[in-house]
Chain A
Amino acid sequence: MIDERMQEQASLHVLGALSKEEAAEFKKTMQANPELRDFVASLSIATGALAGTAPAVEPPPQLRAKILAQVGSPQKVVELPVRKFWPASLFPWGLAASLAVLCVILFEQDGRLQKQIGAQAEEISSLNQMAVSLQAATNNLQQSVIALRETNRLAGLQITMLNSMLTDSKATAVTLWDNQKQDGVFVVQNLKALPADRDYELWVIDENKKPIASGVFHVDESGAIRLDFKPSQFVSAANVFAVTEEVKGGVTSPTIKNMVLASR
């Protein structure tokens, strides 16, 4: 039976709370008392759990290799037996043997150091390769992001075909409308050239059927033009695009009977 005083000493011992002298004394007592030893062993479950309450921190990954390298060669150094009697006649042989052993140890250590250097060089090379590969992966990701942004931008564009409202005209047009940016591109072909005092005017008709003037243009004999346009007012949603023929400089309200192109 371990009395309370001894249990207290054992508890302090497993927690490392005894002074050096007290710890040495306790170890002596423990060696002579198997029951006390078992009691101390039973407390290790508590100290182990206590240790585990420390916030979990993983050691740096490179530390493992460093420690493994430090413990050296696979074979531990075996202590040579010391001879008590050393006759003078054997001294030169002993010296030679010691030197030989020293040489072997130094040779072994040299080999080990070479291996360590080689292993570390390999590790550095491998890390460099990893860095290059990560850089390449980063570049690829950046390209992907750019492509995705472009795709996203294009997905937000509204593409609309405009057909001729005149039976004798082969004019066709396309608008690319970015509602977010409130601007667009208008491309037309086969449109009849107008006299100098007349202009074509582009209209965006919003969801409330309100026509919004979006720029005037003139085509030459080729009948084609590309126009970057921006409506004069905010467009909540572009429902229809249309082109009318107007007096030079355009008008504020479209002349419906002069409509030459419209989307449906």
Chain B
Amino acid sequence: MNECAQADFIQMFRPFETGRPAFSFYREIVSEQDNQERDIELLRLIAAGDRTAFGEFYDRHSILMFSVASRILNDPGDAEDVLQEAFVQIWEKAANFDPKLGRPSSWAAILVRNKAIDRIRSSQRRTRLAQEAGTEMAIVAEVNESANEAIHGQDQAKLIKSAIVGLPTEQRQAIELAYFSGLTQNEISEKLHEPLGTVKARIRRGLLKLRDQLEGLL
């Protein structure tokens, strides 16, 4: 085996380092691919008006979407409304989903995230939530069970969590302020008292690092 091939092999079976059998990781990776293909097929069926497919899509993603909505809104009633709106939009706009632009689960999550952020903006709760956001940064490290655990299982969720927690704090903070608090780049810059360029760079570096660490795992 030449050096390049060896490096690829080591990279591919990096999960060995955790002490878990490679087969189970291989199975999870294959399973993730199957899941994505199934999701894409479901969205195609939903676009054609298939309610059974819609029900299956709901079963597969409602926990993730409701968790995101609850995390942002911190209000079960609002989270329910937003989840409902997001699923109605999925029913109506499934045909707009383009697999070339990302995964169905990420698409669904960003869809509900945007609706939750819109709701915050419309109810003028944003200032308060932005203020609270600073104190919520430690949540990733502290929550007992994350949606990732419910969706991917404990082992995989641990790897995802360690990838996120492993980001430098300032990168993670900027990313979370954008994703969960709905702040724009300018607002993040103001909140963190950092130049806009620094905020942009932190977000870019953090996301790229996450992507590179999770590629092949999810």
Contacts and interface: CB of A to CB of B under 8 A. Distances in A.
Interface residues of B, number: 74
B133 interface: no
A76 B88 CA distance: 12
A105 interface: no
B102 A51 contact: no
A180 B82 CA distance: 61
A44 B3 CA distance: 31
Interface in B86-138: 87-88, 91, 100-103, 105-107, 109-110, 113-114, 117
Interface string A46-88: 1111111111111110011011101100111000000000000
B109 A17 contact: no
Main secondary structure of the interface of B (DSSP, over half): helix
Given A43-B211, A49-B164, A63-B83, A15 B175 contact: yes
A37 B152 CA distance: 27
B64 interface: yes
Contacts of B100: 37-38, 41
B203 interface: yes
A19 interface: yes
A59 B62 contact: yes
Interface residues of A, number: 44
A47 B51 contact: no
Interface in B204-218: 204, 207-208, 210-211, 214-215, 218
Given A43-B207, A43-B208, A57-B70, 19 more contacts: A12-B203, A15-B203, A17-B178, A47-B102, A47-B110, A47-B179, A49-B160, A52-B67, A52-B157, A54-B64, A57-B63, A57-B79, A58-B62, A59-B63, A63-B80, A64-B59, A67-B87, A68-B54, A68-B55
Interface of A: 4, 7-8, 11-12, 14-19, 37-38, 40-60, 63-64, 66-68, 70-71, 74-76
